[in-house]
Chain A
Amino acid sequence: MGYTSKLVAAIGLLAQAHFRLSRNFGALHMYTQSLDQSPVNTNESVSGAAVDIHQDAHKQAAFDRIIDADGKIEAQDWMPVAYRKTLVRQISQHAHSEIVGMLPEGNWISRAPSLKRKSILMAKVQDEAGHGLYLYSAAETLGTSRDDMLDALHTGRAKYSSIFNYPTLSWADVGMVGWLVDGAAIMNQVPLCRCTYGPYARAMIRVCKEESFHQRQGYDALLAMMQGSQAQRDMVQESLNRWWWPVLMMFGPPDSDSPNSAQGMRWGIKRISNDDLRQKFIDATVAQAETLGVQLPDPDLKWNETRQHYDFGPINWAEFHDVLAGKGPCNVERLATRVKAHQDGQWVREAATAYAAKQASRQQRLAA
């Protein structure tokens, strides 16, 4: 085959991969919930792709063997273009979720009811920043840069978990986010500790060690309020009424609406389906709600003896799609806050690099 026809074949395959990928990202995962992703622009050179086709059939076979044996792929290992792109998207959007996730709770740091709660909340928000940074680091091992990832977030090309587009309207919401949002995140993150991509799996292990405190502190705060005044109990119930359904949406659309989850499963990135995770979460949470003394706002919630799971009511998926499309209560505000924070921090980055450069040249002059 002449070079031109190899090129044409490569373009064809790349275009196919882009198309498949834009559908692949449909509802694969909590951090790739969006169904209407446009094809991601990569810096993949076409001639590079042409070389791939001819030399990498055996590398694909070796990769498949590792995946089938539930092994690990590391940063330097060969991997299919689509696997790499899927991971860059998922890990970076997971990282964005952590960083944006600092905002709803950061909202209450200045208004926490006691020094104890304030210290706890600050520690939690610091953790979220740290988790974002672990994940950005993991994504960078795949060949993307921090600048590119932040640019994608700030221009709205990259998504973050839908749940952070909801407002924290009362102090009870802070506890609720810890109990339910972090609880849902834990349910999703534990299986990810076994993901086939090494840096992502190890980042998840580190995250999971810290995540349990997040859920416990939230539940602890809610327990204190439920044992307090009637007004406090009412505040907790009102908060639950607003958060319950959006939290269930965190797990992504039903499996029947996620035709490409299979690819994530095949690659060992996704371990448990959206519906299974959602069911596990509901089953675990019912007992927690009972201990708290709150009512989950679902009249259809009922134990099913045959299934050995809780039946639950219909989820309003129209709301979910609206939020993903940018029409949630806080989408505009969240992004604006992020962009402003990044721009406001520019002088810090410039000062740090200017200082470093000055020190370096001083060393050089002294050494000369």
Chain B
Amino acid sequence: MSDNNNHAGQLVLWEVFIRPSMGLEHKHVGSVHAADASHALQVARDVYTRRMEGVSIWVVPSNHITASAPQDKAELFEPAQDKIYRHPTFYKLPESVDHM
């Protein structure tokens, strides 16, 4: 994430997550500048939910987010690629019970 906090007259940069409707997860939609958390919620509502696309908003100061580094992608994610026994399709069962 960029370190743009406390520019723009000490407005803090917040990342915004919106749950678009009941039952779904919060999804990252972008960022806003705001002075504090309640201000951030109001601005996030104005910017990201004009078309009723929200039942819930989360705002998080951008510098509170820890991200994995792109150069670590191989180390983090490749081990999962050859564990094909994690997939249901690895297991060949008799047809009569294959609906499992």
Contacts and interface: CB of A to CB of B under 8 A. Distances in A.
Interface of A: 74-78, 123, 126-127, 130, 133-134, 137-138, 140-143, 145-147, 199, 202-203, 206, 209-210, 346, 349-350, 352-353, 355-356, 359-360
A138 B35 contact: no
Give me the 8 closest cross-chain CB pairs, A-B, nearest first.
A356-B36, A352-B35, A356-B35, A349-B9, A137-B31, A137-B30, A145-B7, A353-B10
A143 B39 contact: no
A138 B4 CA distance: 12
A130 B50 contact: yes
Contact of B31 (A74, A140, A206): A140
Contacts of B13: 140
Given A140-B13, A203-B30, A209 B36 contact: no
Interface string B11-36: 10100000000000000011111111
Contacts of B67: 76
Nearest to A209: B51
B87 to A, nearest CB: 24
B95 to A, nearest CB: 39
Given A76-B69, A137-B31, A138-B30, A349 B8 contact: yes
A356 B45 CA distance: 19
A75 B36 contact: no
- Chain B's interface size range is 20 to 34
Given A353-B35, A356-B39, 9 more contacts: A76-B67, A76-B69, A146-B33, A202-B30, A206-B29, A346-B9, A349-B35, A353-B11, A355-B36
A76 B9 contact: no
B46 interface: yes
B76 interface: no
A137 B32 contact: yes
A274 B68 CA distance: 39
A356 B37 CA distance: 9
A229 B48 CA distance: 40
B55 interface: no
Nearest to A131: B47
Interface in B42-100: 46-48, 50-51, 67, 69-70
A146 B70 contact: no
A146 B4 contact: yes
Contacts of A359: 36
A133 B48 CA distance: 10
B35 A355 contact: yes
A133 B11 CA distance: 14
Given A146-B33, A147-B8, A133 B47 contact: yes
A142 to B, nearest CB: 7
A65 to B, nearest CB: 14
Contacts of B30: 134, 137-138, 199, 202-203, 206
Contacts of B29: 206
Contacts of B32: 133, 137
Contact of A77 (B48, B51, B70): B70
A141 B11 contact: no
Given A126-B50, A127-B50, A350-B9, A360 B4 contact: no
Nearest to A132: B47
A203 B47 CA distance: 12
B50 A75 contact: no
A58 B86 CA distance: 33
B47 A146 contact: no
A130 B32 CA distance: 11
Contacts of A210: 50-51
Contacts of A146: 4, 7-8, 33
Contacts of A75: 1-2
A203 B32 CA distance: 13
A187 B21 CA distance: 30
A76 B72 CA distance: 12
Contacts of B36: 352, 355-356, 359-360
A356 B35 CA distance: 6
A111 to B, nearest CB: 24
